[in-house]
Amino acid sequence: MNRIAAALCVATLVVGCGKPAPEPEKEAAEAHGDGAITLTAEQIAAANITLARPGRAGAGAAIEAPALIESDPDATRVVAAPLEGRVVSLTRNIGDPVRRGDVLAVIESREAANLQAEVEKARSRLTLASATLARDEALYARGFRPLREVEISKAAHEQAATDLRLARQRVSASGVRGGSLNRIVITAPISGRVVARTASLGQVFAADAAETELFRIAALDRLNVALSIAAADAARVRAGDTMEVTGAGRMAVARVRLVSPALDPQTRLVRVIADLDNRRGQWRVGEPVQARIAIGGAGNAPLMVPATAVQTLENRPVLFVRTAQGFRVVPVTLGARDGAMVAILSGISGDDQVATTNTFTLKAELGKGEASHED
């Protein structure tokens, strides 16, 4: 930073003597040496610093930001214990593939036994009512039973049928499927993979337990790419835009599905979600990746960056340009402002990656380094 100040002072003296001032690009080149900030990719992601390449006015820019691979909530199912009981059998573990209807676990439950018993009792009453009705109708046809008794038998039969239907509905509503009288068979609701398992053999679930999750199953042939970007960048992203996803030597193209209409109250950033085809199984849930959203178009208009990317050092506007080690400070010449975007007349090229959010943290980090150098 001492060199930045010196370069600016020399420029001021030369102008005062009537000589032409050096070009902004030359000043920037002199400032690169001391204006370096060392940050790892992990530190940049933790600081929620979004990267973007400048774009031409009216054409946009390629927005780059760290992202995370997530399972699609619409293709994820939580398998929970429907009734209080004890886990007596488990057939799947994390990572195992499952098909819809596959048995995942068996739970022994007293409540399930009571519900199944009610079904058996209702079925027995219906069997008896059916036999009584058939007998009374036969006797009535032969003149040995009055019509009143036949009607009573019919009403009893209808009541028994209703009781059996209600008992079966209570069993269905409880989630009890298959098994013997006191056991519940837990099956997979969808095809996919087991991405989480909290159940253990012998585990007991109480009726008032807050957590009864046994498994979490996700269909992983389609995943989400989730990232957060500045509101100025989000204004230029539309559903249907393509997104390049890179990570660990792999690259794929996703398509933007959602640009959140609201800012996150904690980060003040906008959440963007894209659909990623994973039928080849090369991406994993929870994997960190780098996302690049290409905003199409080109032209000869000035380069544009979000106004949030610009900071002021030594009374000069600067940008923080990404380097292999972190960032370097680049003085720039500003042009006209267009809403949340500002034109950059000189100092950077369209190939540079610049920090567009949380740049004040980079400025503060640079200030710490300057104070340490002076000491």
Tokens of 122: 């209702």
pLDDT of residue 55: 75
Rounded to whole angstroms, the Cα distance separating 68 from 369 reads 32
Phi and psi at 95, nearest 5°, equal: 95, -15
* Phi-psi map region of 251: left, alpha, beta (phi>0 left; psi -120 to 50 alpha): beta
User: Of 161, 194, 218, at which residue does a domain stop?
Assistant: 218
Q: What is the mean pLDDT of residues 215-233?
A: 91
Stated pTM of the model: 0.50
Residue 70: the pLDDT is 92
> Can you give the residue range of the structural domain that contains 284?
65-72+220-289
Q: What is the pLDDT of residue 337?
A: 79
21 secondary structure, DSSP code: P
Res 63 pLDDT > 70: yes
Residue 25: half-sphere exposure toward Cβ, Cα within 13 Å? 4
pLDDT average, residue stretch 6-32: 36
Residue 299 contacts by C-beta under 8 Å, 6 or more apart in sequence?
56, 57, 58, 59
Q: Which amino acid is at 331?
A: P
> Over the stretch 153-194, which tens digit does the pLDDT of each residue have?
999 999 999 999 998 888 777 766 655 677 788 889 999 999
Say yes or no to pLDDT of 32 above 60: no
Is the domain of 169 the same as that of 188? Answer: no
Confidence of residue 128 (pLDDT cuts 50, 70, 90): very high
361 and 285 in a single domain? The answer is no
Q: In terms of domains, do 149 and 190 share one?
A: no
CATH number of residue 157's parent domain? 1.10.287.470
Strands 326-331 and 316-322: antiparallel
- CATH of residue 38's domain is 2.40.420.20
CA angle 152, 155, 160 (to 5 degrees): 125
| Shared domain check, 276 and 235 | yes
What is the CATH classification number for the domain harbouring 84? 2.40.50.100
Q: What is the pLDDT of residue 206?
A: 73
- Of 232, 259, 289, the residue at which a domain comes to its end is 289
Q: Are residues 365 and 310 in the same domain?
A: yes
Per-residue pLDDT at 4 exceeds 50: no
Q: Are residues 121 and 187 in the same domain?
A: no
Q: 228 pLDDT exceeds 90?
A: yes
In the structure encoding, which two tokens stand for residue 251, read together? 């690259």
| Cα-based distances in Å from 281 to 12, 19, 98, 195, 221 | 60, 64, 15, 14, 7
Same-domain check for residues 15 and 56: yes
Calculate the CA dihedral of residues 276, 279, 284, 286 and round it to 10 degrees.
40
Q: Are residues 50 and 144 in the same domain?
A: no
Q: How many domains does the chain have?
A: 4
Is residue 267 located within the same domain as residue 303?
A: no
| Contact between 167 and 191 (Cβ < 8 Å) | no
Q: In this predicted model, what pLDDT tens digit does every residue of 232-284 receive, in sequence order?
A: 888 888 898 989 899 887 889 999 999 999 999 998 999 999 999 998 888 98
Could you tell me if 88 and 193 lie in one domain? yes
Of 240, 266, 289, which one is at a domain's C-terminal end? 289
Together in a domain, 254 and 355: no
Q: Write out pLDDT tens, residues 311-355.
A: 998 899 999 999 988 999 999 999 877 767 888 988 998 889 999
Tell me: do 267 and 214 sit in the same domain: no
